[in-house]
Every structure is written in structure tokens, then in C-alpha cells.
Amino acid sequence: MDRVIVVGGGLAGVRAVEALRARGHTGALTLVSAERHRPYDRPPLSKAVLAGDTDDTTVDADWDALRCDLLLGERATGLRPGARGGVVTSTAGDLPFDGLVIATGAAPIRLPGDGRQRVLRTIDDARGLRAALTPGARIVIVGAGWIGAEVATAAAHRGCAVTVAEAADTPLAGALGPEAGALTAPWYAEAGVGLRTGVKVAAVEDGGLALADGGRIEADEVVAGIGVRPVLDWLEGSGLLLERGVATDASFRVLTQDGAPRPDIVAVGDCAAWWSGRYGRRLLVEHWDTALNAPETAAATLLGQDAVYDAVPYFWSEQFGRMVQYAGGHTGSERIVHRGDPAGAGWAVAWLTGDRLDAILTVNRPRDLVQARRVIAARTPVDPSALADPGVPVRQAVRA
């Protein structure tokens, strides 16, 4: 393989470059990134950067040693696959390849309306929003998901008057379901943040939000935290199968529209909808842990080595002074087991099907998370009664 192109300058793209070199690729290697900055880490944007603790999250990569050409501020505009290899069309010109890594990530969903709204996806977004978080500023955040809660945390800490508007009846309803999501609602009031649930936004207007019921929320700044969509527009007409993301097999080989895998093109990161044998369906996991670890498998696949990715999804968040972690997948689970008092400093909830642990959410209980993740990965049966006792380590709740 003489020439590999990596499209996307996020964490998944960087790790793909490193893994390709580590696994023996000696040919030309080019990374194309729409951003003008060198690749950087995104999780600190809503945490340390907004808090003012750092202004730089650049990934520590030795680009000279990696012998990788960086095309920064250049955007992929199309893909013309051949029988083997092909051409990426871009603002830097045509880029022929023998192997291609698609890692274009995702872009924030914006609210309707002509008023100013902010999103949080890039380092420039974070720096701009941080400058607006001044004492007394009326900050309205639409969406009580992971990002919304983290932005609310930073804004409240900086002395803003913060309101979070959520369409669902509880925070994190989409990610955790209403029962578990409701357990986080008291955190908002505790932090002095107004939480309005069941609120539908009609439009962002100058000076605030117009609501679907005819009401209005005044704001100096509106932040949209309602999710992201994979960046796929440049792949239209390429013949690849696009279903929510770039459809791949369990080794990250992209699928064509007739369902055939291409060994010379892989997709990874927030744009990849990869097949999980563990869950029997494609997963679109838009979290840092997958972007960090999955490129190792994608690189091996591109170089013709056998590799399959089937990790237990994992995510973490810091909000309102709490470390919140989640592992597994609870879609279709039969019931929830509570582990500790949600009014206390540390607690967890677990999702089970029979005696199988499907997923766990932990708050300030990192040991529970580590042990539960191993149990989920091994599919080891657990004793639900023991699991419900916060005094019993998760590993000791495993059935003999």
C-alpha cells in the first residue's frame, strides 16, 4: 500500500495515523483536516477550556516522526472509489489513495431561527463561548444532555444566570431513559441553574428563544446542545452505504450500497456506524473512548491484518461537581437496579436482563464502573440482590 489518506483531524484520525505507522505502513501518509488547528482533544472543551483552566488541548503527536503530511484547513468534497483505491476530491485538489480512513466525525445540530446561537464542537467554539460567560450574563442552554449539563456547570461556576430548556420530561432522557435521567434533575437546582423540562423551542430570535407554546425565554446567549450528526455530505454519490453514519462491518471496512465490504476503505470515530456482534446491530458511538481505541482495529484492517472491534461502549462526564460514568448498552433491558441513595455523594444504577448486567451508570463510584465494565464484557451472570448493595463490590456480585 503506497499511499494512505486519512480524512478527519479529530482524535480518531490522529490515532489512525499512529496505528498505521506502528503496524508497519511505510508508504506515504496524509491527514486532511477541515480545521486550521493541529489535531486536538475535544472532551476538555466543555470542561477545562470553558472553566478557563487551559486554552490548548492539542494532541501530543510527533508529526515529523510519523512522516505524515498535514493538510490543515482543507476539506474533503467528494470520493471517487475505483475497483481498488480511488480519489478523494478536496479543496487542496485531488488526492489519490490506495487506502483510505474516513474519520470526519460529526457536526452539531443547530436550532431553527435567525438569532445568534452558539454550539460547542471546536476549540474556537469553546474560546468564543467562554468569553461570553461573564458574571450576570443570561445564558440559555437548549438540551439537558451530556454537553448541556457540562456547559451549564461551567456557566454557573462563572457567575452566569443559567437556564436549561429540555424538550423531554427529564435530563438525559435520550441517553439514559427517564427513570435514570430524573435522578440528575436535583443537581441543577443545587447549582443554581434553572431547569425547564417539556419545553419545545420554535426558533432562536434576537434576545432569546421563541417557544412552541407561544412563550419566550430571554437570553444574552443561546447555546444549542441538542446533539450532532455525522459529517457525510462529502460521501453522497460515492456508492458507500450511509445509514445514520458510514456503515461498516465489525472490522471497520466500509460497506457499499450492495452490502459488500471494501478492504481498502475503513471508517472510524463519530461518523462510523460499525457492526457489533455483542449487540447484534450497528452502533454509532459518538464518544471519546471509541475514537481513542477503535482506530487500532481500523488500521490493522486496512493493512490486511485480522482484527475485530467489539468493546463495551464507555462514556464519562463531569457535571455539577460529580464524575458521571456510563458503560454498556441498556436498549431492551428488563429492569433497573439502584445501587445506593441518589441523594448521597456516590451511587449507581444498573440495567439488567435476567441475571445479565447490560449497563451501569455510576456517580462518584469509579471502582464500580471499572468492575462492572469487566463483568459486562465477560457476560458473567450477577446476583441482582448483591448488586443492589453498595457495600458489596461489583466483582463480588458475580454468581459463582
pLDDT tens digit sequence for 239-267: 999 999 999 999 999 999 999 999 999 99
- Over residues 94-109, the mean pLDDT reads 97
pLDDT at 335: 96
Q: Which range, of 100-104, 141-145, 190-194, 396-400, averages the lowest pLDDT?
A: 396-400
- Over residues 74-79, the mean pLDDT reads 98
pLDDT at 273: 97
pLDDT > 80? residue 64: yes
Number of other CB atoms surrounding residue 185 within 10 Å: 17
Rounded to an integer, what distance in angstroms lies between the CA atom of residue 135 and that of residue 394?
A: 43
Query: Does residue 186 share a domain with residue 251?
Result: no
Last residue in a domain, options 189, 224, 259: 224
| CATH number of residue 134's parent domain | 3.50.50.60
pLDDT tens digit sequence for 155-175: 999 999 999 999 999 999 999
Buried/exposed 245-280: b ≥16 CB within 10 Å, e otherwise = bbbbbbbbbbbeeeeebbebbbbbbbbbbbbbebbe
| CATH number of residue 326's parent domain | 3.30.390.30
pLDDT at 151: 98
Query: Does residue 151 share a domain with residue 193?
Result: yes
Number of domains in the chain: 3
> What is the average pLDDT score of the chain?
96
Residue 308 falls within a domain, yes or no?
Answer: no
Residue 118 falls within a domain, yes or no?
Answer: yes
Reported as a pLDDT band with limits 50, 70 and 90, residue 1 is confident
Residue 315 falls within a domain, yes or no?
Answer: no
Query: Does residue 85 share a domain with residue 171?
Result: no
This prediction has a pTM of 0.94
Query: Does residue 246 share a domain with residue 98?
Result: yes
Last residue in a domain, options 302, 331, 362: 302
Residue 373 falls within a domain, yes or no?
Answer: yes
pLDDT at 400: 74
CA angle in degrees (0–180, nearest 5) for 162-168-173: 95
Domain range enclosing 347:
321-397
